[in-house]
Structure 1
């Protein structure tokens, strides 16, 4: 894009990403079927991948700031989907892990999550999907 080109909102990457995110959020809300938000789902998935970890590390692993991950963990805790326990290596720190109900919720939602992702990327060919993932990864 030329430096002298008119500034158009529709051409701005932030605006385009926001529109794509809104589309994904709508697909997620309609498809996941368990009342979880995308950020709550991300925390469950990451805990399933990593096992127990400190809350601040979970925030980093899910690209959430401290305030956001705190709220996510509190809401997951209220739903009985996670449990907190003392870190055996550092008694001052709490580890967050999936509860049995959280593990069941994760397993139950995986097929729906895959379908949501498929729907989100459906307008693109498989090669375009890989290109998009690669380009977005370079921006993060």
Structure 2
């Protein structure tokens, strides 16, 4: 048995999927992620890269602070850190200022991996933004920063 009920069309409600911010952001992110996975060495995910890059920039920090600094919830941060520890790229040690807390840091191997990955990530950003003129790139980044 078939139904005569049909979904409303964009002509009915004015909603065009291809014009929606969420849809466009997801497509742009998919393009960037595909480039990232194909260009960045070390078999790193974008979240693993973010964690390692933050540690490279800011030095050892608590797992809680690390997660907040890269906009990840506690459970996700713990999983990422645990996987990177298992790969020998991160390590933890007690905080000498607060014995209850552990600090997460890069291992020497982690330093080597992130140094190489950052060079590739620069190329990923360039490739992602390649269709835009310089002023458009600046505007896009400003606007994305503003809405995030």
Q: Please, what TM-score do these two structures have when normalized by structure 2?
A: 0.88
Q: CA deviation at 1:5?
A: 6.3
Across the two proteins, how many residue pairs are aligned to each other?
A: 137
SS for the counterpart of 2:75 is: helix
Q: Which moved more, 1:128-137 or 1:8-17?
A: 8-17
Where structure 2 has 5 or more consecutive residues not aligned to the other structure, the ranges are 1-11
Within 2, Cα distance between the matches of 1:14 and 1:88? 44
Question: Is there any run of 5+ residues in structure 1 with no aligned partner, and where?
Answer: none
Larger radius of gyration: 2
Give the CA deviation at 1:110.
2.0
Larger deviation, residues 107-116 vs 92-101: 107-116
Q: 1:63 aligns to what SS in structure 2?
A: coil
Pair 1:93 & 2:130 matched? no
Q: CA RMSD in A?
A: 1.3
Residue 77 of structure 2: aligned partner: 69
- Name the residue aligned to 1:45: 53
Aligned to 2:16, which of 8, 13, 16? Answer: 8
CA drift at 1:15: 1.2
Q: How does 1:125-140 map to 2 (within 5 A)?
A: 125-140=133-148
* Displaced runs of 4 or more, over 4 A: none
SS of the equivalent of 1:124 reads: coil
CA distance in 1, matches of 2:67, 2:140: 24
